[in-house]
Amino acid sequence: MSETDQTATSIPSPLPWQAEPWQRLGAQWRAGRCPHALLLSGAPGLGKRRFAEAFAALALCEQPRHGLACGDCRGCRLWQAGSHPDFLRVQPEKPGGPLKVEQVRQLGSFVGRTSGREGARVVWLAPAEAMNVNAANALLKNLEEPAPSVVFLLVSDAPAGLLPTIRSRCQTVPFPAPARDVALRWLKEGGLDGTGAARALELAGGAPLLAVNLAEPEAREAREQFLSDLTELTRGAASAVALAGRWESPPEGVELPQLLQFWQHWVSLMMRARSCDLTPDEQVVALLQRLPGAGAESLRPLFAFSDQLLEARNALMGTANPNKRLLVEELMIRWGRLYNRR
């Protein structure tokens, strides 16, 4: 999809755990004090994009009701049809791809013209961290001299990957994970309940939308196969190079940063079990039993490996564009060495 495409959609509303930032920004908007650029930041799966969609619809609505876009006016109908002249969506041409400098440079013509409906113009850009340095500098020119009535909505899973000069010109809207009971209630209302919901939410780091994806059968199957392969690696029964080739491009429905998050979660469970003498699920117990050493001393390599996983995830979500094959291969090799120390 190009930056000028917008598919027909319904008017979204903010999620339950987004009430506070929605009310605050809504009040600023109604008072005419909304910043010209907002940076919506937080972990994946917290609903930042949905919030940005809802706020864009509100800004383009001609007769908001109860703090939300009405869904009935001409502005709302144009937005839903994907043909609003004052809305521009900028996103990678393919999932996981970069935001190209040519895409961002086209913002100039959009923000420089007069609104066709004498209202706000909205630029929706995600993921912001997908911009390289040239694209980021092109965006910076538009942020430094904001045109009247233009609102930039930047969405980022990894705001640290943005230029400091871009962050400084935006009002950051942080999205923390909701309280566990709030998230579980929302999951239950969506049809996901019980142990499966709690497990998925834990694996998702408390992010409800990601938990929904992780509860899908394909995602569960991929996780189980991934953990099985990691277990084989600890036995010396699998090749790190071969496994890296298998997992550098995960199956549909699962992304590589998610797999590394699962891996980090399992390592965290191992450290917790070893330090507190807990007994989590059988697979984690089996991994612990084969880990050399005992007590606190045996945790040091796990802490170091957890840091490596975090660095790898940050690299994947940033602008560095690392070689996925080499990244996964190095992690697999280091994981195997934890269990086969010389």
pLDDT value, residue 186: 96
For 91-111, write each residue's pLDDT tens digit: 998 877 888 899 998 888 888
Which residues are within 8 A (CB) of 113 and not within 5 positions of it... i.e. 6 or more apart? none
Q: What is the mean pLDDT of residues 269-281?
A: 71
Residue 185: pLDDT band (50, 70, 90) is very high
Instruction: Pick the range with the lowest mean pLDDT from 86-90, 211-215, 233-237, 283-287.
Output: 283-287
In this prediction, residue 229 carries a pLDDT of 93
Single-letter code of the amino acid located at 306: S
**What are the C-alpha distances in Å from 57 to residues 65, 68, 76, 104, 207?**
12, 8, 7, 22, 24
Which of 209, 208, 260, 200 minimizes the C-alpha distance to 230?
Answer: 260
Taking only the tens place, the pLDDT of each residue in 314-333 is 888 766 678 999 999 999 99
Residue count (the chain): 342
Distance CA 19, CA 35 (A): 19
State the CATH architecture for 216-339.
Answer: Up-down Bundle (1.20)
The number of C-alpha atoms within 13 Å of 125 and in the hemisphere containing its C-beta is 30
In this predicted structure, which of 107-111, 141-145, 285-289, 305-309 has the lowest mean pLDDT? 285-289
pLDDT for the residue numbered 137: 93
Mark out the alpha helices in 126-239 (DSSP H runs).
133-144, 164-168, 180-189, 194-203, 208-214, 217-234
The 8 Å CB, 24+ separation contacts for 272-281 are 274/298, 274/299, 274/302, 275/299
Going by C-alpha positions, the residue among 114, 129, 126, 134 that lies closest to residue 152 is: 126
Q: Which two tokens stand for residue 45?
A: 């799966």
Cβ neighbours for 74, distance < 8 A, ≥ 6 positions apart: 62, 117
More reliable by pLDDT, 148 or 222: 222
CB 130 within 8 A of CB 104: no
Question: Rounded to an integer, what distance in angstroms lies between the CA atom of residue 64 and that of residue 44?
Answer: 29
DSSP conformation letters of 196-223: HHHHHHHHTTT-HHHHHHHTSHHHHHHH
Domains 16-174 and 216-339 share a fold: no
Least confident of 45-49, 117-121, 129-133: 117-121
CA distance 298 to 324: 29
pLDDT of residue 5: 37
Query: Cα Rg for the chain, rounded, in angstroms?
Result: 23
Which CATH entry fits the domain spanning 16-174: 3.10.290.10, 3.40.640.10, 3.40.50.1000, 3.40.50.300?
A: 3.40.50.300
Which of 13-17, 77-81, 96-100, 273-277 is the least confident region? 273-277
Instruction: Let me know: does 143 contact 37? Beta carbons within 8 Å.
Output: yes
Euclidean distance between CA atoms 126 and 99, whole angstroms: 9
pLDDT tens column, 7-33: 446 788 999 999 999 999 999 999 999
First to last CA, the chain: 51
CA distance 55 to 311: 33
User: In this predicted model, what pLDDT tens digit does every residue of 159-178 receive, in sequence order?
Assistant: 988 999 999 999 999 999 99
pLDDT beyond 60 at 279: no
Q: pLDDT confidence of 3, banded at 50, 70, 90?
A: very low
Nearest to 84 by CA among 54, 53, 55, 116: 116
| Residue 290 pLDDT class (50, 70, 90 cuts) | confident
User: Which residues sit opposite 81 in a β-bridge?
Assistant: none
| 211, 223 contact by CB (below 8 A) | no
Tell me the pLDDT of the chain averaged across its residues: 87
User: What pLDDT score was predicted for residue 7?
Assistant: 41
DSSP 89: E
Sketch the domain layout of the chain as residue ranges.
Answer: 16-174, 216-339
E strand or H helix that includes residue 4: none
pLDDT at 280 over 60: no
**pLDDT, average across residues 64-83:** 93
Percent of the chain with pLDDT over 70: 93
Predicted local distance difference test score (pLDDT) of residue 57? 96
> Quick one: average pLDDT of 138-144?
91
> Between residues 283 and 68, which one has the greater pLDDT?
68
- Count CB-CB contacts under 10 A for residue 258: 23
Query: What are the residues facing 171 on neighbouring strands?
Result: 38
- How is the beta sheet containing 171-174 ordered, strand by strand? 87-90, 121-125, 150-156, 37-41, 171-174
pLDDT tens for 236-268 read: 888 999 999 999 988 877 888 889 988 988 888
Q: Return the pLDDT at 150.
A: 93
| 129 pLDDT higher than 80 | yes
Which residue did the predictor score with more confidence, 66 or 279?
A: 66
